[in-house]
Homo-oligomer: A and B are copies of this chain.
Amino acid sequence: MTFTPVKKRQKTAASQTGESEYNISQLPPEALGLMANFFKVLSEVSRLQIVCSLKTGAKNVTEIIEATGLGQANVSKHLKMLTQAGVVAREQRGVCVYYQIANPFLFNLCDLVCEALFAQVEQQSQQLQQLSALRQNL
């Protein structure tokens, strides 16, 4: 749930080799597997919907179902996956189970991706406009 500060950079075997301790270009396959798994969890619209619905704070399953419009069994399955991946945290209160984003860093990450994708789409549409402009001049 509570993540240790991101920068941390304490002495691990990796940091002794010098340079940035996470050099993607020479990362062991297991580490790539972890990364791939993390991205996979975020690679489904339904799960992103769930994550987004939790941006305003913790919600129980019923509230998530209402917010997303997904089926109950489906939400439960996705929540299990999100929990196992450490993306959301689970907390039982009486009959209800509340979920919340485990690490707010996730929202920064999504914002970053969003901006990059928006810039990309914008650039593509500009290129399309230029293309159609050229076509006009034929």
Contact = CB atoms under 8 A, between A and B. Distances in A.
B2 A128 contact: yes
Q: Interface on chain A toward B: helix, strand, loop, or mixed SS? A: helix
Interface string A13-35: 00100001111111101011111
Interface in A106-120: 107, 109-120
A125 to B, nearest CB: 5
A25 B116 CA distance: 18
A6 B43 contact: no
A102 to B, nearest CB: 8
A2 B111 contact: no
B43 A39 contact: yes
26 contacts: A2-B128, A3-B119, A3-B120, A3-B123, A5-B118, A5-B121, A6-B112, A6-B121, A8-B115, A15-B115, A20-B114, A24-B51, A24-B111, A25-B55, A32-B45, A32-B52, A35-B110, A36-B45, A38-B113, A39-B43, A40-B44, A43-B43, A86-B120, A109-B109, A109-B113, A112-B112
B22 A125 contact: no
A63 interface: no
A103 interface: yes
A34 B117 contact: yes
Contact of A34 (B7, B12, B23, B121): B121
